[in-house]
Amino acid sequence: MRAVLLASILAAAACGDGASGPKLPDVRLATLGGPLGPSLATCNTGKCLTVIVAPWCGVCHQVTPDIVRLRRFLDKAGVSSRVVVGLSTDLAPIKEMAALFGSDTLLDPDGAVTARGVPLFIVTNRAGEVVKRVSGFPRGASSADELADFFGLP
């Protein structure tokens, strides 16, 4: 049920033109480090970035270093970010990929989060509303600050 709800929300937000959209659902996933992570519906900073990747996705593996650099940049700028590794029922490769992002990476072996394409980048505002959605990795952005600018983050 949660997966269907999130899929419909992501589809409704597909325009990704910066206009406020629906909120992400109140879904909490376990982190690689063990405890439950924050709800996807919450954002404790002005904007948040949620990145959805899958262990079978070649592009996701290729851009993992860029995502890690972007998260470090956003952390220094005071912007929350999170990575969800899922779209697979095999926990071992999910955990292996999650380790590349850190102990706060969210694990989704049960399919609570779905996406039409990965990597998927979702920017939400403080109220948890989707303000931008981008499937695939942005071309032309070669540094963390260019990526942040592309996503409208600080």
Sequential DSSP letters for 87-119: S-S-HHHHHHHHTTT-TTPEEETT-SS--SSSS
Model confidence at 101, pLDDT cuts 50, 70, 90, reads very high
CB 44 within 8 A of CB 75: no
Domains plus CATH for the chain? 2-150 (3.40.30.10)
> What is the per-residue pLDDT across 28-83, written as a single tens digit (0 to 9) for each?
999 999 899 999 998 999 999 999 999 999 999 999 999 999 999 999 999 999 99
